[in-house]
Structure 1
Amino acid sequence: MSQAKDQPNQLLLEVKGLKKYFPFKQGMFSKQVGYVRAVDGLDFVVHRGETLGIVGESGCGKSTTGQMILQLLDATEGEILFEGKDLTKLSPEEIRKMRKDMQIIFQDPFASLNPRMKVEDIIAEPLKIHGMYKGAELKAKVIELLEVVGLGEHHLSRHPHEFSGGQRQRIGIARALALRPKLIVCDEPVSALDVSIQSQILNLLKKLQADYGLTYIFIAHGLPAVKHISDRIAVMYLGKIVELADRDALFANPRHPYTEALLSAVPIPDPTKRKERMLLEGDLPSPANPPKGCSFHTRCPYATDLCSQTPPPLQEIAEGHTVACHFPLGT
């Protein structure tokens, strides 16, 4: 599906020990009493031309990870190497220049578009900021971008409220594509859309990836969308990656109990068939007070005393398949 399979050693992004802790305060005098560990030590790589899916429940740190990669949020700790350069150590001016290579597609296609601006101005804005086109050439480029995402010149003078949700997301994609970036973070880009529109947007993203050699980080909480577009999938739980594997291997042979639970919740399209569902006990623990040992042990049906005492390392159990579990499934 992507160039990554043909060029497995061409790294575009490398994340090492990435953390984001948000301080929180309580009491009359707003005294700091602790930290919310939104992201608690991530290590992964992204190859050129591939799509890395990141999936997990709401609040697991997916979107925070994407925002740190784009330097929309400062990391508490860790390294983010983009083409060998550590983004966490660059100056604001250096980051501004790097933004041409890194863009984002937001979850809400209405909130992410300025309601006072016309479509022409929305898409032209990044091109103007970076001084890439002017006058008639700028307008021609905007029209080209609209046509690439399935819209047309007659949409130029309209405002975001005049479009459907799917059309607004196409405008957001055109804006992200304007600077010909190398990496696009797709932050739940289809979760706010009707199911019938989701597949259209996913197919558009796949086509653009093939046409322009794009690299995606695709963030979602639903596994069907992630399966449709991703080459590899990272499963996050409470700020950490608990399993990372090739898409087909993950769906065919999940090795972490949390991944197994997520897969069991995916509905089967055939109403005549039934499958066993793995129901998780209890609620997602607070990232301000994560459990000791394995972060998943409070909800895991296979947990032992070891799980409640010692955090499992993320280790490779098969080629390209890593899992953070003391007792991986199938062993």
Structure 2
Amino acid sequence: MIKPLLKVDGLKKYFPVKKGLLARTVGHVKAVDDVSFYVNKGETLGIVGESGCGKSTTGRMLLRLLEPTEGKVEFDGKDLTSLSSGEMRKVRSDIQMVFQDPYASLNPRHTIEKILGEPLLVHGVKSAKERRRKVHEFLKVVGLNADHAKRYPHQFSGGQRQRIGIARALMTNPKLIIADEPVSALDVSIQAQVLNLMQDLQKEYNLTYIFIAHDLGVVRHISDRVGVMYLGKIVEMAESETMYANPLHPYTQALLSAVPVPDPDFEKKEILLEGDIPNPADPPTGCMFHTRCPYKMDICTTVIPQLQEMDKGHSVACHLYGEEGGNDIKNDGGVL
């Protein structure tokens, strides 16, 4: 059995809710609640869900930009949650992040050469000549010119800035790149260019990606496996084509039914979820999704469903697939 490059077990992040003059803790927002998954070397794991579901928080905890409340993150045989800040800094040369907003993540006061050279300086490349050589090399790798190194971030378009963000992530030759909605701030025409670039780089440098997004079409294009999150929990995990052909969880089915199809003659039934996403500071008991689920049963309101494997590599957390549900949910290509 292949040992995964990254293994996450029982990851949690609770933010305290404080009130009153004494700022007493009166509750917690469970941004990420008992999330477990793995990523094999060379593959792309997509993590999708609505805004506020905890996917970006999960990505930041993997790098320990946010400290986990509980859980274990094992990368390349090392338990990252037990490392000191100095030890973690060394590991970050192997794990890099591409952020959502390409402008906000680049220092507007620094030239591109300084921005791209900084990771090399932090990780021990003291020679200015060597740093400049690598900056020019990776600018060309992402489709820009060496001359661009003297410019500032505001002199580039959004797509070019995201290419610079990708180049910065590549500077230390990482094994894993966490891409946090890297194309959501870009025009659709530019999105395809950046996605194709990321796929080309993955093949060339044998990269492993965790691709966080809310756009299911984008995730399908780039991911080998997909995990769906809802209110801090993973509710379904499967290979990409399996997920899109045969979604099991009612929430996944609703998400996929809302994806537009570029065919005017194609008819499909869109599943409309009633109600709003519950307050994460006061989540519902039992299954988090039961307040919006069209298949709600009595057990859903009291018992939290566990992620269980229904088929090889296809897991779902839903009582419909237990003894109580009788496994009788029907769907066809993501549409009920």
TM range (shorter): over 0.9
User: TM-score, with normalisation over the residues of structure 2?
Assistant: 0.95
The equivalent position to 2:182 in structure 1, one of 180, 183, 189, is 189
Q: Name the counterpart of 1:41.
A: 34
Aligned to 1:303: 296
- 1:238 is matched with 231
Using the TM superposition, give the Cα deviation of residue 24 of structure 1 relative to its aligned residue in structure 2, in angstroms: 1.1
Residue of 81, 88, 94 corresponding to 1:101:
94
How far residue 111 of structure 1 moved from its aligned partner, in angstroms, is 0.2
* Equivalent residue for 1:256, pick from 228, 249, 255: 249
Which consecutive unaligned segments of at least 5 residues does structure 1 have?
A: 1-7
Output the CA distance in 1 between the equivalents of 2:290 and 2:184: 29
Distance across 2 between alignment mates of 1:169 and 1:109:
5
Answering whether residue 170 of structure 2 is matched by residue 153 of structure 1, we say no
Which residue number in structure 2 is paired with residue 5 of structure 1?
none
Q: Is the 8 A contact 1:268 1:274 kept in 2?
A: no
Pick from 208, 231, 250: which aligns with 1:215?
Answer: 208
**2:125 pairs with 1:132:** yes
After TM superposition, give the deviation of residue 330 of structure 1 in Å. 4.2
Q: Which residue of 2 aligns with 1:15?
A: 8
1:325 correspondence with 2:318: yes
Q: Name the CA shift for 1:129/1:277 in 2 (closer, same or farther; >3 Å).
A: same
Report the Cα offset of residue 27 of structure 1.
Answer: 2.6
Q: Match of 2:35, SS?
A: strand
The residue aligned with 2:116 is 123
TM-score by length of 1: 0.96
Q: Deviations over 1:112-143 (max 9, x none)?
A: 00000001111011011112251322211110
Q: Which runs of at least 4 in structure 1 moved beyond 3 Å after TM superposition?
A: 328-331
What residue in structure 1 maps to residue 325 of structure 2?
none
Partner-residue secondary structure (3-state), 1:11: coil
CA RMSD of the aligned region, Å? 1.1
**Is residue 89 from structure 1 mapped to residue 82 from structure 2 by the alignment?**
yes
Whichever residue aligns with residue 290 of structure 2, its letter is H
For 1:182 and 1:218, locate their aligned partners in 2 and report how far apart those are by CA, in whole Å. Answer: 14
Aligned length: 324
Cα displacement string for residues 136-170 of structure 1 (whole angstroms, at most 9, x for unaligned residues): 22211110000000001110111000000000000
How far apart, CA to CA, are the structure 1 residues paired with 2:40 and 2:146? 35
Q: Distance in 2 between matches of 1:247 and 1:306?
A: 30
> How high is the sequence identity, in percent, across the aligned residues?
62
Please tell me whether residue 202 in structure 1 is matched to residue 195 in structure 2: yes
SS, match of residue 156 in structure 1: helix
Q: Of 58, 75, 80, which residue of structure 1 is paired with 2:68?
A: 75
Match of 1:268 among 249, 261, 270: 261
| Amino acid paired to 1:215 | T
Distance of 2:302 and 2:129 partners within structure 1: 65
- Alpha-carbon deviations, 1:282-329, whole Å to 9, x = none? 001111111111110000001111111111110000000000001143
Give the structure 2 partner of residue 3 of structure 1.
none
Q: Give the secondary structure class of the aligned counterpart of 1:59.
A: coil
Matched, 1:31 2:24: yes
The one-letter amino acid of 1:300's match is: C
1:48: how far off?
0.3
1:59 aligned residue: 52
Question: Is the deviation greater in 21-30 or in 57-66?
Answer: 21-30
Q: Aligned partners of 1:214 and 1:10: how far apart in 2?
A: 16
Structure 2 spans left out of the alignment, 5+ residues: 322-328, 332-336
Structure 1 CA distance, aligned partners of 2:186 and 2:153? 15
